Structure 1
Amino acid sequence: MTNYLDFEKPLAEIEGKAEELRAMARANEEMDIEDEAAALDKKAAELLEELYKDLTPWRKCQVARHPERPHCRDYIQTLFQEYTPLAGDRNFADDHAVMGGLARFNDKPVMVIGHEKGSDTKSRILHNFGMARPEGYRKAVRLLEMAGKFGLPVITLVDTAGAYPGKGAEERGQSEAIARSTEKCLQIGVPLISVIIGEGGSGGAVAFATADRIAMLEHSIYSVISPEGCASILWKDAEKMREAAEALRLTAQDLEKLGVNDRIIREPKGGAHRDRTATIDAVGAAIASMLAELDGKTPKQLIRQRRKKFLDLGSKGLAA
């Protein structure tokens, strides 16, 4: 059953009517409703195209958070072979919000790390809705160090509302763990590719996305704070999240203009959740292309160019 977003309610009505007609036809084989159902399908397709033709930043936030979007686990299961998960930070615990391990991508050994939100109530609670604690970032640091030691390209899949802000996380050094992960991304002499597959929230996302190449799915978002959080701080009113989303310039299109992300990966019409297979295939093709761009670069070149990339951030927007 499709989960419709608020702005998709007219589409839900049309697709619902088409499904009702087909259900009636299945119950009564003598009924011929195919022409009516086909007409509704055509109307729904036209409306879907119209709705997604020029999404506002707030609507993109809603699409990026859609519960049926492919998550980290889906990409790993489909794009990577021989995935061997590695658990724990060797200090406190294993954080299920962060998954990662050794794998093969296009038959080449790599390290893959990502945020996992979960797909149902039980798994969302297990993975803490993709909000990592300090041990999650320290696990990532351990895997990044291993990748650097063995010369393995790193692929990160970012999908988090932000690092977990709980009392225990703060007591265990949340900000320090995020900073160490970001620092390690800048230090390793292997190709580092990051893809924002849904939400890229705050330092919790930067800790994985300080990469040689950053790609964003067409309707993903990447921002220092959520629109709701921004609205609460600036206007003391979380309901002003639409205005905040406009001001934050958090869409893939805005961030490409600013030079923050290097490429936009097109999503199927209606968002990634409407054709998960096509979305995952498109991400796989983008990862392969970005890895090819970095092929042959020495560790010193990779580190120098990565540092320069982030030191130069903002200059593109100022020049424009």
Structure 2
Amino acid sequence: MSYLYKPRHHSPSPSPVPLRSRVLPIAVAAAVLAVTLVVGVAVQASGPGLLADAQSLTSADSSRSDVGQAARDRQRTQAAPDAAAAPSKAAAGAAPSTPAPPAATSTAPPAATAGTTAPAAPAAKELAYRFAWQENFYFCGPAATRIALTARSMYPSQSEVAQSLRTTVNGTDSADDTTRTLNAYTKSSFYKSHYITGQSATQAEIDRMQADIVNAIANGYAVVANITGSAVDDKGGSHAYPGGHYIAVVGYSNGGKTVKIADPADALGVGHYTLTTAKLAHWTALRGYSA
């Protein structure tokens, strides 16, 4: 099949645009570009200032916010002062309180006994005791010690006490033996040995003997003394033991200035008498006593 070419119809050529019309859009576009460049430069130049203004505005807003928050806090404080006074949990957690140190332990006596004193000893007291004469001439130590033990409701035989005292035909050695035996029988350490070393007792030794006798008898313990020489009792009776002797002190009166003696070898045959504590102290010179 053959194709027959047909020429196209040509539109008339457009009229040429005047030069002035073409130059005007180009000028306008250039002006717009110039303005855009100028505005961009201005914006860049004023950027820090704008940022500072923005920060100032933010600070102002924050200040106004803080002022408003402070006002709201005051309102809450006025409405609930107790809640405002109580520390918050956050604050307590941030700064834990330090526990107070333990109270020091007081070394003072208990209040119930701090102001109390021991009861005063009576002005006079006599112990209940069981008297017995010494069984032989050298048993004065066992006999006097046994008399003292009967005041504690103990009734050993004189032989048993002599064995504890290590008594021989020469007698009992010293107050140390009577102290040891009395403590052994009473199962205590109450008794102590006291000695008067001079030819006669000093006033201090007399006072000490008086205090020892009062303390012992007030507590229910009789005293055993090792004496030598002679003494006269309150009734004028004379009692002489030049070789030494043991007696028991079973009572006192006149605040301890007078003592009652239980004597297991009393030559008067009575077995007891009284005399001053000063005489007893002189009678115990060079010897001692258990109290």
Please give the range of the TM-score, normalised by the shorter of the 2 chains. Answer: under 0.3
- The TM-score normalised by the length of structure 1 is 0.21
The structure with more helix, counted as a fraction of residues: 1
The structure having more radius of gyration, on CA atoms, is 2
